[in-house]
Amino acid sequence: MQLWIYKAAMIEIVCNDRLGKKVRVKCNPDDTIRDLKLLIAAQTGTKPEKIVLKKWYTVYKDHITLDDYEIHDGMNLEMYYQ
């Protein structure tokens, strides 16, 4: 019996806070928004609890995966701070 494991390719997401900080993050589609915030925090030095990710009026929740939100390679997200 063969077991096929699907391994998705990594995607790159660009997060812009419109204050001069633009971050490119590589992650997997099955990562959660919380995982993405941790990667952004590692690059910017900002605490992950203070980061809010949005696209237009949609605020992304921490426990939902990027794939569920249909966030794809090369997508831009807006980054705000609480």
Please give the pLDDT value at position 34. 94
Q: What is the pTM of this model?
A: 0.85
Q: Please list, residue by residue across 62-79, b when 16 or more beta carbons sit within 10 angstroms of its beta carbon and e when fewer do.
A: eeebbeebebeeeeebbb
Is residue 5 included in any domain, yes or no?
no
**pLDDT > 90: what percent of the chain?**
65
**pLDDT > 70: what percent of the chain?**
90
- Residue-wise pLDDT for 50-80, tens only, equals 999 999 999 999 999 999 999 999 999 999 9
State the residue for tokens 């998705």. 8
Is residue 44 included in any domain, yes or no?
yes
Look at the chain and report how many structural domains it folds into.
1
Is residue 1 included in any domain, yes or no?
no
Residue 23 in 3-state DSSP? strand
Domain that holds residue 28: 11-81
Is residue 2 included in any domain, yes or no?
no
Is residue 6 included in any domain, yes or no?
no
Is residue 33 included in any domain, yes or no?
yes
- Residue-wise pLDDT for 40-51, tens only, equals 999 999 999 999
